[in-house]
């Protein structure tokens, strides 16, 4: 593995291991992106996937929030997108402005259009992420840890069939119900690429890995355990086995699957579970029974509520988590583009204040 500057701030990694920290480490999903004016300036001359696939640009965007909120952030997350995996599997994805698949999978026969195998070390969409991670680890100079990530197989499968975002998920759910075995086979195939991709990110320098299964809540509890969970469990197990002594902490964020929190804590094989804002932190603590650390879980829209609401919500959230032991402060989903950086800064300052009590 490459040699990097010594880490100066290990709050995130200690919290991910379930340790008590001086305060809760804090970062936010999508922190590198559209809420920052410096990102929007860069987007005037560079396409979204161009940034993802150009290591120097991805590094710059990853560092932007660390610089903008100097001294307040406890992690950087590499600027990329979960859809680089379908791209590497042979699908064309455009940003118009949301994701658009030019040829989504309309039936199991279309799976034949995918590449039979994906070499993550040569696939441009994934290799450039590794290069960006190595460059960013160096440029961070040990200031904060660097997070790598991928999408959960079910969430990626949904995009590949729906052709983009969806409100009803009718197309992909019809696959699950009409073609359950073919669906499981494709989910497993996606998981294989995710495993290789995450292992490569850790070897390139990522110090924590997160799996974003943001569409998990679209499935009933039965269907989540039948279709989504086995692939997530396989990723947690095999990434750790492949990395061996070089294993890094892993976070699973299965948004909307609060019904499965206790089961995931016991059986998924991750160090941290990410929470959305629809569960009380104290209840999540009870359900996981100390088996894993927790991340979250402030409603992202609190950032539009003004400084008093932000402060009150952070204070109440910290009290509900019951202290900083094994807690990584975050939003319950990604920050939205209209959030004012001044309010985001206040959110970070409140976390520093109230999680240290």
Q: Which residues are catalytic?
A: 30, 34, 43, 81, 159
Strand partners, 100: 94
CA dihedral 156, 160, 163, 166 (to 10 degrees): -40
Phi-psi region of 250 (alpha: psi -120 to 50; beta: other; left: phi over 0): beta
- Cβ atoms < 10 Å from Cβ of 95: 14
Nearest to 50 by CA among 88, 17, 94: 94
- Cβ atoms < 10 Å from Cβ of 107: 11
Nearest to 50 by CA among 81, 23, 19, 20: 81
Number of H-type helices and E-type strands within the chain: 15, 9
User: Is there a cis peptide before residue 97, judged by omega within 30 degrees of 0?
Assistant: yes
Phi-psi region of 147 (alpha: psi -120 to 50; beta: other; left: phi over 0): beta
Strand partners, 99: 95
H/E stretch holding 297: strand 293-298
- Cβ atoms < 10 Å from Cβ of 79: 25
Whole-angstrom Cα distance, residue 88 to residue 291? 35
Q: Determine the distance from the C-alpha atom of residue 23 to the mean position of all C-alpha atoms in its chain, rounded to a whole number.
A: 22
């Amino acid at each position: 593995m490459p040699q990097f500057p010594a880490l100066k701030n290990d709050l995130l990694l200690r919290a991910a291991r379930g340790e008590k920290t001086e305060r809760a480490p804090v970062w936010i999903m999508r922190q590198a992106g559209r809420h920052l004016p410096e990102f929007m300036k860069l987007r005037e001359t560079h396409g979204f996937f161009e940034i993802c696939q150009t290591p120097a640009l991805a590094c710059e965007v990853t560092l932007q929030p660390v610089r903008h909120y100097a001294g307040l952030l406890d992690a950087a997350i590499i600027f990329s997108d979960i859809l680089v995996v379908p791209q590497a599997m042979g699908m064309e994805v455009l940003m118009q402005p949301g994701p658009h698949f030019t040829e989504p999978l309309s039936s199991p026969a279309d799976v034949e259009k995918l590449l039979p195998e994906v070499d993550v070390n040569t696939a441009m969409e994934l290799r450039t992420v590794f290069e960006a991670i190595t460059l960013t680890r160096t440029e961070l100079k040990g200031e904060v840890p660097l997070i790598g990530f991928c999408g959960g197989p079910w969430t990626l499968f949904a995009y590949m069939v729906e052709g983009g975002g969806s409100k009803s998920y009718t197309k992909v759910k019809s696959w699950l119900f009409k073609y359950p075995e073919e669906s499981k086979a494709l989910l497993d195939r996606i998981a294989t690429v995710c495993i290789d991709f995450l292992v490569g990110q850790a070897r390139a320098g990522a110090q924590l890995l997160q799996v974003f299964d943001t569409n998990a809540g679209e499935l009933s509890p039965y269907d989540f355990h039948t279709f989504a969970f086995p692939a997530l469990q396989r990723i947690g197990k095999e990434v750790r086995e492949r990395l061996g002594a070089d294993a890094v902490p892993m976070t699973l964020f299965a948004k909307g699957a609060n019904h499965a929190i206790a089961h995931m804590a016991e059986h998924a094989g991750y160090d941290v579970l990410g929470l959305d804002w629809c569960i009380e932190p104290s209840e999540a603590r009870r359900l996981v029974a100390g088996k894993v650390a927790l991340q979250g879980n402030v409603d992202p829209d609190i950032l539009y509520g003004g400084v008093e609401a932000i402060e009150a919500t952070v204070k109440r959230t910290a009290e509900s988590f019951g202290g900083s032991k094994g807690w990584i402060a975050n939003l319950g989903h990604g920050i939205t583009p209209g959030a004012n950086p001044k309010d985001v800064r206040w959110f970070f300052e409140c976390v520093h204040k109230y999680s240290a009590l």
